[in-house]
Amino acid sequence: MSNARFPALRLVLGPALVLSLAALLAACTPGRIDYRYVESAYDGYQDHWAPYTSSLTADVTGNPFAIPQDDFNKIVNAAIQPDGYPPSDKSAYRLRMIFNGPATNGNYICGDHGDHGSQLGKSKGSTVTLAAGYCRGNDPMTFVQGSVSDISGPNDPRLKEYLRMVTVQLFPLPENTFGGPCGMMSC
């Protein structure tokens, strides 16, 4: 069967292959994102590359493991960094992360510094829930909420992978403004 003879087949197989590969990669990622919100003030053209090219800092509330809060904060801040970038308190990119806290939204996450996360060592079994926001001052630019299960402890590689995935999800590319999946090209 030739694609030249059946051009419609090429239009069906191309997107199907891309969707299949995306589903396969998503299956390899630990945890899930249940909700994501992007504020209109978020500049994806400027900020999207931050989790790949900049040191980041996370204000952490909650600690689902029986280790000191400062140690957990260091683990979180190390996990969210791109390769080759050390954590920095002076980062222009501030994230706010609440572990095992009550359900929340992005409206107050950046300005709130209350103790809404779990108490030291208190967990929800082996599931860690997370509400996270990318903040510019007290204003949330993006917000995600999700969870990861079967975490054995604070040094579990799956937790670190999940934290990195959440960080990348906080910096999405801008939506396609050209209309439709084909952009300016005709499908």
Q: What is the pLDDT along the chain (187 residues), one digit of tens a residue?
A: 555 565 554 555 555 554 454 444 445 668 999 999 999 999 999 999 999 999 999 999 999 999 999 999 999 999 999 999 988 888 889 999 999 887 777 777 887 655 555 555 555 667 899 999 999 988 899 999 999 998 989 999 999 999 999 999 999 998 754 444 444 444 3
Model pLDDT, residue 22: 45
CA-wise closest residue to 133 among 109, 116, 117, 159: 109
- In sign, the C-alpha dihedral spanning 111, 73, 95, 26 is negative
Model pLDDT, residue 110: 86
CA-wise closest residue to 129 among 151, 146, 109, 110: 146
Which 3 state secondary structure label does DSSP give 75?
helix
Model pLDDT, residue 102: 77
Beta-bridge partner residues of 135 = 94, 140
**Ordered alpha helix ranges (H), 29-68:** 44-47, 50-53
Alpha-carbon distance of 75 to 17, in angstroms, equals 37
pTM value is 0.75
Model pLDDT, residue 103: 73
Model pLDDT, residue 125: 63
Model pLDDT, residue 178: 44
Model pLDDT, residue 112: 60
Give the burial class of 140: count Cβ atoms within 10 A of its Cβ; 0-12 exposed, 13-18 middle, 19 or more buried.
Answer: buried
Integer-rounded Cα Rg, in Å, for the chain is: 19
Model pLDDT, residue 104: 76
Name the pairing type of β-strands 139-148 and 32-38: antiparallel
Beta-bridge partner residues of 142 = 38, 134
63, 99 Cβ separation under 8 angstroms: yes
